[in-house]
Chains A and B, each alone.
Chain A
Amino acid sequence: MADMTVQSLSATSLRRRPSIGTLKFAESIFIPVAALLASAALFSVFLLFLGKSPLMFFQLLWVGGFGSGFSLQNTLQRAAPLILTGLAFAVPARIGLTMIGGEGALVLGGLSAAAMAIPLVTAGVPAFLTLPIMAMTAMLAGGMWIGFAGWLRYYRGVNETISSLLLSYIAIATMNFFVEGALRDPASANKPSTMPIGDAYRIGSIPGTEVHWGLAAGLVLAIGLHILMTRTTFGFAARVTGGNARAALAQGLPVGRLIVACTMIAGACAGLAGFYEVAAVHGQANASLVAGYGFTGILVAFLARQVPLAIIPVAVLFGALSAAGGIIQRRMGMPDATVLVLQGLIFVVLLTSETFYGRIAFLQPKRAEDRT
C-alpha cells in the first residue's frame, strides 16, 4: 500500500535517488538483518561470560543446520511447521491483530486429526481418503479455534492477544484430557497417546528427500497467502482494516467478516501444521505436539515483517537453529534451553529495532529537496 502512494511522489521530486519504494524495501531488509547480527553479537558476549566459544557455537549452528544433507533435511523438516505457524501469526497481523494462539491451534489440529483417524483407520478406509479428511478436520478445528478469538475481538471487544493465549492453554489442557482419558491407547504406557495411525497411513517424504510433505504445503500456502494478501481485493480490504479499522468501517468494508476470515485462515494454517506433526512425524497425538512451534512461529513472522513470502527463508533459519540444538547441547555441554535464550534475545532485539524505521539517514528519501 505504501508503495502506491509513494511511487507517484518519486517521479516528481527525487532525482538520482532510489525510489522511495526501493528504499522502504531496503530498510525492511536492512533493519531485521542488523537486528539478527546485533542479537548474534549480544549472544556472543553472553557465551563469553559463560566461558564458551562463540565461534564454536556459530560453527556448530552451521554444521547442525546446513552442514550436511542430513542436517539440511532435519532443518527443512523443522521449518515446515514454522512456516505454517508463522503464517498463523502474520495473516491476522496484517489486519491489525496480535494473535498468539498458534500453539493451541496446532495442538488442537493434531488432536482432532488423530481423533478422526481412529474410526477411519479401524474401519480400513484407504489412506488417500483418510488423510485428506484428517487434514480438513485439523484445519477446521484450528480455524474455528483462532476464528473464535477473532470473533471475540470484533463482536465482543475482547483483547485478542490474551484470549488467544488463554485458548492455547485450554487447547493443551483439552489434548491432555483426551489423551489421558477417552482417546488413550491402552498400549501407550509411558507416554499417554492416541492410537497410532500406523505406517500405512503415514504421510511419506517428498521424493528424493526425507522431508515430509508439510514443507510443500507450507510453501504452497505461503505463496498462496502472499498473493491473497497483496494481490486481491480481499487482501487489500484486510490491509486497509489493519491500517485503520475506523476508516475501513466508514468505507463500508465488512470488517467483522474480514477479521473472522483472516483469523480462521490463520488457525487453519496452524491446524494443518498439527496434522503434519501427527500424520508425518509422530504418528499419533501426544504431549510431543506441544513443542513450541506456535511460539517460535510468532518470532518467525515478526522477523519476516508479516510478509508471507519472507516467512519461508526465516522459517528455514529458525528450523536450522532448532535442528542444531542437539549438537550444540552435546558438543558444548550447554542446556537445551540455549536455543530458547537465543530466540528470546533475537525477539527482544528485533522488536527494539522497530524504533529505527524512518530514522536511518541513508535509507530515507531526501526531504529537504521537497521543500526547496
Chain B
Amino acid sequence: MNETLQDSALITALIAMLGGAIRVSTPFMFVALGECLTEKSGRINLGLEGSLVLGAMVAYAGSFLTGNPWAGVFFAGCAGLVLGALHGFICKLPRVNDIAIGIAFMSFGTGLAFFFGKPYIQPQAPRLEAIHLGDWTGDPRLAQALEVNPLFFVGVALAVFMWWAFRNTRWGLIVRMTGDSAPAAKAMGVSVDLVRFIATAIGGFMAGIGGAFLSLYYPGSWNQGLSSGQGLMAVALVIFARWGPLRCILAALLFGAAGALGPSLQSVGISQGYYFFNAAPYILTLLIMIASARSKVAAREAPGELSITK
C-alpha cells in the first residue's frame, strides 16, 4: 500500500495535516479546558492569552534552569495559576467587568513574559520528548505525524475526567450550579465567589500548561511571536464546543487542523498564500462564532450566569 501512497502529494499533505492537527491542537485543548472550567462557573477569562504566553516563557526558563522540561511545565502551570487567581480575585470585587479585566490581563501577562523572557530567547532549553507511536508503519511521514507529545494524552485524559466530574461529582455539581444560577448556589450555602475564584485559578493553571507546550515542544523555542491568539481563540472554541469538555477535544483538533493548513501545504510545495492560510484559524473561529451565536442548542447549554452570552 505504501507504494501507492508515496507519490501522492495530497496524501503527504493530509498526513502532515493530521500530525499538525495533533501538534497544534494541544495548546488549544489546554486553554479551552481551562476556559471551559472557568466559564462553567459563570465567569469568563479573556486573560488566558496572557497566562498562555507567560506560561510559555516560564516553562522555557524553568526547563533551561533546572534541566528538566517537566519542571518547566509545572512552573508554567503555577504562573498561569497566579494570573488566574489574580483575575478571580479582582473579578469578585463589585462593579468590575470580567471581560475588561481579561483584556488587562492579556496585556499584563504578555508584558511580564516579554520582560522576563528577554534572556531566554537565545539559549537552548531541554525540550519535552515525544512518544513515537508511528514507527511500526514503516512510512517516515506517518511516523513523523504520529510523534505525539505526552501532554496531548494528558489533555485528553483531563477532558475525560472533567466530563465525568461535571456529571458525577459533588464538585462538578457545585461548579455547574454556580455557573447557572448564582442565587441558587447562594441558597444552597455555596460561596459563589470562592467557587469562581478556584475555577478561574485552575483554569489559569491549565492555560499555563498549554503555553509550556508551545515553548517546550511545538514550535519548541521561546520568542515574542510565539503565541498568536491561541488563548483568545480558545474562548471562542469553548462556545463552539458548547461547554462540553469532550467536544473541546474535537474542536481543538479542528482548530489544530486549520492551523496546520498553511505549513502542510508548504510541505508539498504550495507556498503561495501561506500568509492567507495563516489566517485560516481566525476565519474559522469567526465563522463558527457567527454560526453558533444564535444557535438554540448553544443557548440551552450555556451557563446562565455567563456575561458573554447575554
Which residues of A line the B interface, CB within 8 A?
A: 98, 100, 152, 156-159, 161-163, 165-167, 169-170, 173-174, 176-177, 180-181, 295, 298-299, 302, 335-338, 340-345, 347-348, 350-352, 354-355, 357-358
Task: Tell whether B161 is near chain A: CB-to-CB under 8 Å.
Answer: no
In the complex, besides A177-B279, A350-B104, 14 extra interface pairs with C-beta distance below 8 angstroms are A98-B100, A152-B290, A161-B103, A162-B289, A169-B282, A173-B275, A177-B273, A181-B272, A181-B273, A337-B114, A340-B107, A345-B111, A348-B104, A348-B108
Q: Which of B15-23, B64-72, B138-146, B232-240 contacts A (4 or more CB under 8 A)?
A: B232-240
Q: Give the complex CA separation of A180 and B110 in angstroms.
A: 27
How distant is B86 from chain A, measured CB to nearest CB, in Å?
Answer: 8
**Sampled A-B contacts (24; CB under 8 Å):** A98-B100, A156-B290, A159-B289, A159-B309, A162-B232, A167-B286, A169-B228, A169-B229, A169-B279, A173-B278, A298-B103, A302-B100, A336-B114, A340-B114, A340-B115, A341-B108, A344-B105, A344-B110, A347-B108, A348-B90, A348-B104, A355-B94, A355-B95, A357-B95
Asked whether A344 lies within 8 Å of B112 as measured between CB atoms, the reply is yes
Task: Tell whether B136 is near chain A: CB-to-CB under 8 Å.
Answer: no
Task: Tell whether B55 is near chain A: CB-to-CB under 8 Å.
Answer: no
Query: What residues of chain A lie closer than 8 Å to B104, measured between beta carbons?
Result: 344, 347-348, 350-351
Q: Which residue of A lies closest to B235 (CB)?
A: A162
The 5 A-B pairs of least Cβ separation, nearest first, read A344-B108, A340-B111, A337-B114, A173-B279, A347-B104
Taking a contact as CB atoms closer than 8 A, the residue among B50, B285, B294 that contacts A157 in the complex is: B294
Q: Give the complex CA separation of A348 and B83 in angstroms.
A: 11
Q: Give the complex CA separation of A350 and B97 in angstroms.
A: 12
Taking a contact as CB atoms closer than 8 A, the residue among A158, A161, A342, A344 that contacts B293 in the complex is: A158
Query: What residues of chain A lie closer than 8 Å to B105, measured between beta carbons?
Result: 344, 348
Query: What residues of chain B lie closer than 8 Å to A336, measured between beta carbons?
Result: 114
Asked whether A170 lies within 8 Å of B97 as measured between CB atoms, the reply is no
Q: A152-B290, A158-B293 are in contact. Are A176 and B112 (CB under 8 A)?
A: no
How distant is A63 from chain B, measured CB to nearest CB, in Å?
Answer: 22
Task: Tell whether B254 is near chain A: CB-to-CB under 8 Å.
Answer: no
In the complex, chain B residues 65-95 whose Cβ is within 8 Å of any chain A Cβ: 86, 90, 93-95
Q: Give the complex CA separation of A165 and B99 in angstroms.
A: 13
Q: Which residue of B lies closest to A348 (CB)?
A: B104
Q: Which residue of B lies closest to A159 (CB)?
A: B308
Q: A161-B46, A166-B282, A341-B112 are in contact. Are A347 and B294 (CB under 8 A)?
A: no
Main secondary structure on chain A at its contact with chain B? helix
Q: Which residue of B lies closest to A179 (CB)?
A: B275
Task: Tell whether B101 is near chain A: CB-to-CB under 8 Å.
Answer: yes
Q: Which residue of A lies closest to B94 (CB)?
A: A355
Q: Give the complex CA separation of A173 and B308 in angstroms.
A: 26
Asked whether B99 lies within 8 Å of A161 as measured between CB atoms, the reply is yes
Asked whether B233 lies within 8 Å of A166 as measured between CB atoms, the reply is yes
Main secondary structure on chain B at its contact with chain A? helix
Q: Give the complex CA separation of A350 and B107 in angstroms.
A: 13
In the complex, chain B residues 106-121 whose Cβ is within 8 Å of any chain A Cβ: 107-112, 114-115, 117-118
How distant is B184 from chain A, measured CB to nearest CB, in Å?
Answer: 24
Query: What residues of chain B lie closer than 8 Å to A341, measured between beta carbons?
Result: 108, 111-112, 115
How distant is B10 from chain A, measured CB to nearest CB, in Å?
Answer: 24
Query: What residues of chain A lie closer than 8 Å to B233, measured between beta carbons?
Result: 166
Query: What residues of chain B lie closer than 8 Å to A354, measured between beta carbons?
Result: 95-97
Q: Give the complex CA separation of A181 and B309 in angstroms.
A: 39
Residues 269-298 of chain B: 1 if any A CB is under 8 Å from the residue's CB, otherwise 0? 000111110110011011001100110000
Asked whether A337 lies within 8 Å of B107 as measured between CB atoms, the reply is no
Q: Give the complex CA separation of A302 and B97 in angstroms.
A: 12
Q: Give the complex CA separation of A173 and B94 in angstroms.
A: 39
Q: Which residue of A lies closest to B115 (CB)?
A: A337
Asked whether B111 lies within 8 Å of A177 as measured between CB atoms, the reply is no
Taking a contact as CB atoms closer than 8 A, the residue among A158, A166, A180, A344 that contacts B275 in the complex is: A180
Q: Which residue of B lies closest to A298 (CB)?
A: B103
Query: What residues of chain A lie closer than 8 Å to B289, measured between beta carbons?
Result: 158-159, 162-163, 166
Query: What residues of chain B lie closer than 8 Å to A357, measured between beta carbons?
Result: 95
Query: What residues of chain A lie closer than 8 Å to B112, measured between beta carbons?
Result: 341, 344
Q: Give the complex CA separation of A158 and B101 in angstroms.
A: 20
Query: What residues of chain A lie closer than 8 Å to B282, measured between beta carbons?
Result: 166-167, 169-170, 173
Q: Give the complex CA separation of A93 and B232 in angstroms.
A: 20
Q: Give the complex CA separation of A341 and B108 in angstroms.
A: 6
Taking a contact as CB atoms closer than 8 A, the residue among A166, A337, A352 that contacts B232 in the complex is: A166
Asked whether A348 lies within 8 Å of B101 as measured between CB atoms, the reply is yes
Q: Give the complex CA separation of A188 and B290 in angstroms.
A: 39
Taking a contact as CB atoms closer than 8 A, the residue among A158, A163, A174 that contacts B279 in the complex is: A174
How distant is B207 from chain A, measured CB to nearest CB, in Å?
Answer: 16
Q: Give the complex CA separation of A340 and B46 in angstroms.
A: 18
How distant is A94 from chain B, measured CB to nearest CB, in Å?
Answer: 15
How distant is B105 from chain A, measured CB to nearest CB, in Å?
Answer: 7
Asked whether A352 lies within 8 Å of B96 as measured between CB atoms, the reply is yes
Asked whether B229 lies within 8 Å of A165 as measured between CB atoms, the reply is yes
Q: Which residue of B lies closest to A169 (CB)?
A: B282
In the complex, chain B residues 165-189 whose Cβ is within 8 Å of any chain A Cβ: none
Query: What residues of chain B lie closer than 8 Å to A162, measured between beta carbons?
Result: 46, 232, 235-236, 285, 289, 308
In the complex, chain B residues 222-262 whose Cβ is within 8 Å of any chain A Cβ: 228-229, 232-233, 235-236
Asked whether B118 lies within 8 Å of A335 as measured between CB atoms, the reply is yes
Query: What residues of chain A lie closer than 8 Å to B273, measured between beta carbons?
Result: 177, 181
Q: Give the complex CA separation of A351 and B97 in angstroms.
A: 8
Asked whether B90 lies within 8 Å of A352 as measured between CB atoms, the reply is yes
Query: What residues of chain B lie closer than 8 Å to A173, measured between beta carbons?
Result: 275-276, 278-279, 282
How distant is A288 from chain B, measured CB to nearest CB, in Å?
Answer: 15
Query: What residues of chain B lie closer than 8 Å to A298, measured between beta carbons?
Result: 103
Taking a contact as CB atoms closer than 8 A, the residue among A156, A177, A302, A338 that contacts B276 in the complex is: A177
Q: A166-B286, A299-B107 are in contact. Are A351 and B90 (CB under 8 A)?
A: yes
Query: What residues of chain A lie closer than 8 Å to B308, measured between beta carbons?
Result: 159, 161-162
Q: Give the complex CA separation of A82 and B275 in angstroms.
A: 28
How distant is A130 from chain B, measured CB to nearest CB, in Å?
Answer: 27
Q: Give the complex CA separation of A7 and B96 in angstroms.
A: 27
